[in-house]
Structure 1
Amino acid sequence: MANISERIAEVQYRIEQACLRAGRLREEVQVIAVTKYVDAEITKQVLDAGCFHIGESRVQQAVPKWNQLGDKGIWHFIGHLQRNKAKEIVGRFEYLHALESLQLAAELDKRCANLDSKIKCFIQVNVSGEKTKFGISPVELNDFARSMANFSHIELAGLMTMAPNTPNREEVRPVFRELRRLQKELQRQHIAVPHLSMGMSQDFEIAIEEGATFVRLGSILVGTSS
């Protein structure tokens, strides 16, 4: 517990410093503790230490954890989601960070309607254009975002992206900056996309400097194995 508390304190300090550099309020940034590689006991320690946003990306591991701890935090599904798994996260996860197809949106909307619930979704945008990454292209974003009005049980939370994994952290800055530009472009058209989910353990400070409101932190916060 002490180790996790110390990690959280160190991360909080680094976030505060990044916010200072960017002229932002610390309250503008939420930390999602990515617990996909750790067990339910470690996840409980994270929650007990005051980190209430929990990120999971594998349905088969996430659902048992949610069954044990679901009422203790706010749960985010941050990984690629197949349509046939949508029923597993609806009613459990408040947020989905990887909406990338209208077919998935339709399935989520249908499942939510059956439960009379809603789900908050981030549109995943493949800003870097890497073939190994999921997400729609920036040129598709405008039409895709407008189409969300057709789904009454989906609340558009914002945009999400993943930057390239590179040892030169400054190479990721243009990716985060572009997602922020895309957000502003949609907002000028009165499409509400209030949040930016971007930045992970290796680059979260740059993401915050470029406007991130949710950062997804795994190894730096909770480690990589149980």
Structure 2
Amino acid sequence: MQTWIKTNRSFILFLCCFGFFRLAVADWNPIPSGSMRPTLLEGDVVLVNRLAYDFKLPLTDVVVAPLGEPQRGDVVTFTSPKDGVRMIKRLVAVPGDVVEMRNAVLYLNGAASEYLAPVAVTEPLGGGQTTAAIQARERVAGHERAVQVLPELNALRSFGPVRVPPGQYFFLGDNRDNSADSRFFGMVPRHLLIGLAHHVLVSADILGNWMPRWDRLVQVIQ
């Protein structure tokens, strides 16, 4: 065993450095569901900056040093406070914000979002089923992103108003009517934030023919 370790020490060192880099510095995250459509699609693999907010001990939620503040509009990976599952959602409200939704219109600190350039599309639901959808550009608090609603589904389109407490964050999926998010599991404490998703690394059509989506290669997440 000692001889094998000595012979392969360079490779072992590489694996250790790579493991530390992925666990503490940068990571990738596959997108398995449609909760962030149309921003992220099933089959996307996104790059995550684990140092965007905090430096943590690898394999733990223990924060060693804060490095940056989460911003409204960030697409964030985090651990669900409900069941410990890793999730990826849009950060819509930070500590001190008052967030509300009325008939699918998002309000932040009393100001209603604007919805620009709405367009009707057909969206997959899985299992070969589809539904009508309306996509638009949502503008609020100086940030603009693509969102969609699914009018034919029975969904939670009104809540609040609620104030985000210190050290907590409120998340929504961009696919507003098909997302398990802070409307259902509540606020997310900062120590459960994993990192900032900033680019789509690669993508494949996993709901169809599994062909690569070349147009999404190294695409910036907005």
Same fold judged by TM-score > 0.5? no
Q: Which is strand-richer, 1 or 2?
A: 2
Q: Which is helix-richer, 1 or 2?
A: 1
Range of TM-score over shorter length: under 0.3
User: TM-score under structure 2 normalisation?
Assistant: 0.26
User: TM-score under structure 1 normalisation?
Assistant: 0.25
